[in-house]
Amino acid sequence: MKLLKLKNLHLSISLFIVIPAALIYGLYPGVSLPWLFDFEVTSPDLYNVFRAIMGLYLAFSIVWYLGIVKPALWKSATILNIAFMGGLGSGRVLSLILDGIPSPAFALGLVGEWVLAFFALYQFRKFKADGKTSE
């Protein structure tokens, strides 16, 4: 059982971080974004974008959750986790190059996303090599 918990750690951490982020971005973007990021949401299009981001984040979270509770989906959920975190991290690196240094919160996000992407890759290789992806 302990091995199973360690096997799912990257997915659990991602759920713990991404679900609140999704809700912050999408439930009340007109309230949360100005408070957190000094960013005013002033048009239906901006509301639409942030609620779409919420939906996307929650959809990814559902797949990660299914990867935890249904071992047959663990491999797919882990690959998706690598792509999601690596994609966010890559976008932040591009922004760092093109736009300059972000606020500490976003810099921490960059580090966290890359750590999770590489940890998920490590988990994928470790449990695939051990033949334990179907526990």
Given this model, what pLDDT does residue 130 score? 54
How confident is the prediction for the chain on average, in pLDDT? Answer: 91
pTM: 0.88
Given this model, what pLDDT does residue 21 score? 94
Upper half-sphere CA count for residue 63 (Cβ side, 13 Å):
15
Domain ranges of the chain: 2-129
Given this model, what pLDDT does residue 135 score? 43
Low-confidence ranges of the chain (pLDDT < 70): 1-4, 129-135
3-class DSSP state of 41: coil
3-class DSSP state of 27: coil
